């Protein structure tokens, strides 16, 4: 029997913070797993270092399902983003090891390729229409064939998903910028306190349809367009938005309302045919039970990184497949290259793949994590190296120590804290 010999938790902040688990077996194989939880990174580091790593040493790396069940059930305290990110990192590292032992790219172990490449969408944003159009053109030039549209709202200073100012240092599609474009948006900001943003739902509901109208007039009916509501509406407000966006034929409307109350989506669904995507902050199949069995959503947004790894997300996606619901895995810059690689292998193998979110990482991140994935004509492919196809340069990672960073939060005009 082979055994896990060492388990190292590597924290690095090349363009932003990342947490990576590196497992090494006594026969010399290594496996990587992503455990990055944006703005709460060190909680997962402690969960792994203090509680999980001691349990891994000496275990058989090939017993992936057994290790998953052991870590989930023996903790007694179930679910939650910290637990599930830690288990995800172990799970993905074990799949990486198993695929390397087999001499195959990981997607082969998951059933082999169900398609030739993964359609990906990028993030266009602008404070006003000229900036937004510019950003959409940037993304088209970078090869994107599906584009998320986020826009400023008159009267609001800062808003989720919109870069606060175009980057002056790059013209278009520069490889060294996180996101790769001039209007790219990075939610977490370094510093000791979260930044405050402002929010007004009525202004947003009035303004957004005018933005999509302008975008459709400029770019035509074919381009798949997406939008993220980022949990800020009540179900009836979300229903109204979905209905008012119907003429613009969205690929999806994401996180239109916080979905802890899964039944709330019934109301949205009764009123609109705009496709709905939910789940980037979910971490188990139980968070989807009503949403899936009542077909209240169209796309599952969960990432491998935050949902217990490939083992658990695969179960969610297989469950969703029985209800014609597809994958739309979360892929912002806070999913590390290791987490992205896991998403690409899983997305290539499953039948019910929908679309993959893809924000490019910056050049420093790409130096810390060497990757084999390819990006061509709007499609991603994980590559054919054995395992995940990612190597971590631990010395390079050591050059970028952790930097405290927080996600922002919202307040309404009267000072009330609101969902961000
Ligand atoms: C998305 C997400 C992100 C999140 C971020 C938080 O759709 O990509 O909403 O932008 O806000 O991942 O860490
Ligand atoms: Mg989102």
ipTM, two decimals, is 0.99
- Angle between the 201-219 and 235-245 helix axes, to the nearest 10 degrees? 20
Q: Which of 160, 185, 248, 288 is catalytic?
A: 160
Measured between its terminal Cα atoms, the distance across the chain in Å is 49
Instruction: Return d(Cα 283, Cα 285) in angstroms, integer.
Output: 7
Is 357's C-beta closer than 6 angstroms to any atom of ligand 1? yes
Clarify whether 330 is annotated catalytic.
Answer: no
pLDDT at 168: 62
Q: Does ligand 1 have an atom closer than 6 angstroms to the CB of 333?
A: no
Q: 419 pLDDT exceeds 90?
A: yes
Rounded distance from Cα 345 to ligand 2 centre (Å): 21
Q: Which domains does the chain have, with CATH numbers?
A: 4-105 (3.30.390.10), 118-386 (3.20.20.120)
Least Cα distance to 121 among 89, 98, 143 occurs for 143
pLDDT of residue 172 exceeding 60: no
Report, as an integer, the average pLDDT of 251-270. 97
Mean pLDDT computed over 96-119: 98
Query: Which ligand has its closest atom nearest to the C-alpha of 37?
Result: 1
Angle between helices 81-102 and 64-74 (to 10 degrees): 170
Ligand 1: centre distance to CA 161 (Å) = 8
Mutation probe of ligand 1 site: the residue of 332, 355, 356, 359 with most atoms within 8 A of C-beta: 332
Q: What is the average pLDDT across 378-396?
A: 98
Residue of 123, 139, 227, 230 with catalytic role: 230
Quote the pLDDT of residue 186.
Answer: 86
Q: Which ligand has the nearest atom to the CA of 407?
A: 1
Would residue 62 show up in a list of annotated catalytic residues for this protein? no
Q: Is the CB of 280 under 6 A from ligand 1?
A: yes
Average confidence (pLDDT) over 69-95: 98
pLDDT band at 187 (very low <50, low <70, confident <90, very high): confident
Q: Is the CB of 298 under 6 A from ligand 1?
A: no
Cβ of 38 less than 6 Å from ligand 1 = yes
Tokens of 14: 């090349």
The per-residue pLDDT for 176 is 55
Average pLDDT, the chain: 96
Taking Cα atoms as reference points, which of 175, 100, 99, 104 lies closest to residue 142? Answer: 175
49-67 tens-digit pLDDT: 999 999 999 999 999 999 9
Looking at residue 177, what is its pLDDT?
Answer: 58
> Best mutation site among 251, 300, 334, 419 for ligand 1, i.e. most ligand atoms within 8 A of its Cβ?
334
pLDDT band at 165 (very low <50, low <70, confident <90, very high): confident
- Above 50 in pLDDT, residue 353? yes
Strands (DSSP E) found in 130-212 = 147-151, 189-190, 196-198
SS3 state at 229? coil
On the question of pLDDT at 174 being above 70, the answer is: no
Cα-to-centroid distance, 44 and ligand 2 (Å): 21
Average pLDDT for residues 254-262, to the nearest whole number?
A: 95
- Return the number of other C-beta atoms located less than 10 Å from residue 114's C-beta: 14
| Ligand 1 atom closest to residue 148's alpha carbon, by position in its atom list | 7
Q: What is the pLDDT of residue 61?
A: 98
Going 91 to 92 to 93 to 99, the CA torsion angle's sign is positive
Does the pLDDT at position 6 exceed 70? Answer: yes
For residue 363, pLDDT beyond 90: yes
Give the Å distance between the CA of 416 and the centre of ligand 1: 22
CB 244 within 8 A of CB 267: no
What was the pLDDT predicted at 173? 46
Residue, of 185 and 201, whose pLDDT is higher: 201
What is the per-residue pLDDT for 170? 57
- Ligand with smallest separation from the Cα of 330: 1
Atom 13 in ligand 1: residue holding the nearest Cα: 38
What is the DSSP code (8-state) at residue 306? G
What are the two backbone dihedrals, phi and then psi, of residue 114, each rounded to the nearest 5 degrees? -100, 0
């Amino acid at each position: 029997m082979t055994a896990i010999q060492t388990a190292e938790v590597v924290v690095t902040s090349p363009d932003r913070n990342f947490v990576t688990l590196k497992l090494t077996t006594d026969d010399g194989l290594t496996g990587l797993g992503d455990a990055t939880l944006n703005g709460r990174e060190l909680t997962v580091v402690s969960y792994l270092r203090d509680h999980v790593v001691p349990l891994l040493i000496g275990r058989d790396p090939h017993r992936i399902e057994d290790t998953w069940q052991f870590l989930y059930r023996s903790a007694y305290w179930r679910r939650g983003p910290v637990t599930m990110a830690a288990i995800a990192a172990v799970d993905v590292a074990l799949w990486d090891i198993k695929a390397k032992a087999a001499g195959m790219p990981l997607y082969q172990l998951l059933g082999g390729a169900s398609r030739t490449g993964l359609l990906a969408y990028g993030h266009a944003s602008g404070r006003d229409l000229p900036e937004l159009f510019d950003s959409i053109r940037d993304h088209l030039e970078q090869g994107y064939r599906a584009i998320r549209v986020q826009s400023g709202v008159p009267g609001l200073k800062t808003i989720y998903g919109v870069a606060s100012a175009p980057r002056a240092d790059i013209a278009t599609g520069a490889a060294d910028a996180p996101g790769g474009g001039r209007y790219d948006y990075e939610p977490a900001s370094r510093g000791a306190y979260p930044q405050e943003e402002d929010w007004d739902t009525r202004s947003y509901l009035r303004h957004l349809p005018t933005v999509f109208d302008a975008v459709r007039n400029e770019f035509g009916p074919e381009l798949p367009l997406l939008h993220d509501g980022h949990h800020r509406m009540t179900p009836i407000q979300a229903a109204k938005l979905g209905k008012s966006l119907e003429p613009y034929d969205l690929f999806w409307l994401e996180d239109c309302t916080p979905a802890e109350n899964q039944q709330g989506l019934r109301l949205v669904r009764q009123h609109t045919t705009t496709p709905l995507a939910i789940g980037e902050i979910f971490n188990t199949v139980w968070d989807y039970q009503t949403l899936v069995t009542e077909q209240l959503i169209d796309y599952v947004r969960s990432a491998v990184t935050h949902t217990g790894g490939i083992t658990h997300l695969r179960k969610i996606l297989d469950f969703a497949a029985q209800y014609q619901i597809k994958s739309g895995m979360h892929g912002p810059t806070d999913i590390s290259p290791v987490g992205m690689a896991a998403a690409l292998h899983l997305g290539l193998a499953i039948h019910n793949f929908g679309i993959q979110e893809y924000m490019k990482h910056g050049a420093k991140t790409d130096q810390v994590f060497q990757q084999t994935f390819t990006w061509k004509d709007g499609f991603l492919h994980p590559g054919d190296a054995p395992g995940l196809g990612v190597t971590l340069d631990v010395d390079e990672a050591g050059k970028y120590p952790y930097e405290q960073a927080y996600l922002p939060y919202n307040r309404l005009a009267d000072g009330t804290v609101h969902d961000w």
